[in-house]
Chains A and B, each alone.
Chain A
């Protein structure tokens, strides 16, 4: 990283680089059944952007993260089981440390040619029309407590080709050690009346259901699509991605709708189904591990997410969101307040309370508080 700074410094010093970003401080409190923890972090995100030519953009950002309070967690504190098995060995403790870090989250070059746009490098990629879940996004996993938070950059090649006035062909390749191990996605996007839609195809070395153990890996081809539009004053959207292997068919689907009332009250709801998730009463330690690592987009199969938001004053908004696991009947209720205290300063407070049995996905999480301050510069 030192070398990177040494390399970047002369560029920043001698070229017209736009520097901006934000400082973020977060303090969290988690109350579990018999334990409670305080933890938090200070984060500095430094965005660098340069446009050496009219059609060329270089973007980068460096994140600095300093954790405080409890910085090492035992995964089993968040699981409704006391032990699990990894490689045939039974364990009752699995540590997840939060280490201070400084890393280059994104660095990419985007060039707009007459026939297409091309982006190379570690770049932000966000696909799909869903809010809390995006089956089409085979590159990222969202956090249900904060679905719009920025996601880690993806090392990829992306080509966006406009097809006359009809639509766009989007090709994304995330290279890996071999071509088979690389993730590929192709998306044809267009619109029909007030609806936008896409048709997607993908290939990824991905988890598949396995009879012997919960999961195995294989080279999987996917097909899917998405739509977003409106019907009778309601916004509607949906997306799906499904494996094309008839013998091992699995996939995800999400449907959502929203409406803004005349008084400004915004209401949205989403339903998500993931056939790769564990079935009811069949959750194993493996399912949790794969879900924590982001290999599966959900622990079980059926979920919902709903949110209501209202601007209490010009600069204070209140929201209430609720999401839950329909299979084990556990859910989280989380009221949140956001205050744009100054032009570039926002303050947020969130309380989340879980409901459900102690052996359920969300029921074990009990109560949590979060305060977040963000200052843009």
Chain B
């Protein structure tokens, strides 16, 4: 009798386990169908931000601005960043008019200080200024900051890109997040997870497109040696070229401070 009960128990337990396995299998398939795309989008975004934003960097860049009236201006500046672009220091070298003018951008653009060497004056800009053009270029101060806030301020979804080599990510602001753009469309290279181009939308209008060109490896990190920003509303263009760049730089304590801004 005991044996029969035991066999019945084993039988029912086996059936239960089988049902459980089928249940989890079905649930698993549904999960993949329901949530798999979003998980994948998040993974792609994480991989992209990890690759395109090394922990720290130091370089020299050239910024060429071509206005809608076809006037060309070239700026050269030294660029320093830490904490994946959370803190950035930019020191202009050319043209002479802005020589040694410097910007300190901290907390992903939340705090901006500007330094004028002729008066040795440091002025703190309110964060609304981060949306403004940096030196008349098509890059805003915010664009110089890191991409970490894409993960915190935006929801990300993957959509078919229609391109064999790229993923397409759509970023839309989370409720309550203060962002400069309505949405971002990012085409990400499937091989190296480096962005191919980004489309910025503001008030429903396709405002500008950033193209990453001439991607080379520096210290094993893919780096776009040229970034071409096209403003579709103002019909202006800005090209940012990397003249020198090195990664994993160890900065002294106090490098990203007002004290160093004035040096």
Contacts and interface: CB of A to CB of B under 8 A. Distances in A.
B30 interface: no
Contact of A259 (B65, B128, B263): B128
B259 A168 contact: yes
A260 B141 CA distance: 13
A20 B68 contact: no
Nearest to B252: A114
B258 interface: yes
A165 B252 CA distance: 12
Given A314-B68, A314-B136, A162 B97 contact: no
A223 interface: no
A229 interface: yes
Interface string B47-78: 00000000000000000010111010110000
A123 B120 contact: yes
Given A260-B129, A262-B131, A314-B236, A160 B95 contact: no
B92 to A, nearest CB: 12
Nearest to A45: B118
A108 to B, nearest CB: 10
Interface string B186-211: 00000000000000000000000000
B136 A344 contact: no
A52 interface: no
B21 interface: no
A69 interface: no
Interface in A47-76: 57
B126 A258 contact: yes
Nearest to B94: A343
Contact of A314 (B71, B116, B132, B259): B71
A364 B124 CA distance: 36
B70 to A, nearest CB: 11
B110 interface: yes
Given A259-B126, A259-B128, A346 B97 contact: yes
Q: How big is chain B's contact interface, by range?
A: 35 or more
Contacts of A346: 97
Nearest to A227: B124
A359 B118 CA distance: 37
Contacts of A237: 124
A126 B69 contact: no
Interface string B88-99: 000000011101
A340 to B, nearest CB: 8
B152 interface: no
A129 interface: yes
User: Interface majority SS on A: helix, strand, loop or mixed?
Assistant: strand
B118 A124 contact: yes
Contact of B128 (A112, A162, A229, A235): A235
Given A124-B120, A235-B126, A264-B132, A313 B99 contact: no
Contacts, number: 92
Q: How big is chain A's contact interface, by range?
A: 35 or more
B69 A313 contact: yes
B18 interface: no
A185 interface: no
A150 B126 CA distance: 23
B8 interface: no
B116 to A, nearest CB: 8
A77 interface: no
Interface in B225-263: 234, 236, 253-254, 257-259, 263
A234 B126 contact: yes
Contacts of B99: 20, 376
B96 A235 contact: no
Contacts of A264: 132-133
B117 to A, nearest CB: 8
B236 A230 contact: no
B74 A194 contact: no
B124 A196 contact: yes
B73 to A, nearest CB: 6
A343 B135 CA distance: 12
B127 interface: yes
Contact of A376 (B65, B96, B119, B263): B96
B83 interface: no
A340 B69 CA distance: 14
B97 A376 contact: yes
A178 interface: no
A194 B127 contact: yes
B71 A315 contact: yes
Interface string B3-43: 00000000000000000000000000000000000000000
Interface in B118-160: 118-121, 123-129, 131-133, 136
B122 to A, nearest CB: 8
A335 B258 CA distance: 33
Contacts of A340: 97
Interface of B: 65, 67-69, 71, 73-74, 95-97, 99, 110-111, 116, 118-121, 123-129, 131-133, 136, 234, 236, 253-254, 257-259, 263
29 contacts: A20-B96, A57-B263, A117-B259, A117-B263, A123-B120, A126-B121, A160-B259, A162-B254, A168-B259, A189-B258, A194-B111, A233-B127, A233-B128, A235-B128, A235-B129, A260-B128, A260-B129, A313-B67, A313-B69, A314-B68, A314-B234, A315-B67, A315-B71, A315-B136, A340-B97, A343-B74, A343-B95, A343-B97, A344-B95
Interface of A: 20, 22, 57, 112, 117, 123-126, 129, 148, 150-151, 160, 162, 165, 168, 189, 194, 196, 228-230, 233-237, 258-260, 262, 264, 311, 313-315, 340, 343-344, 346, 376-377
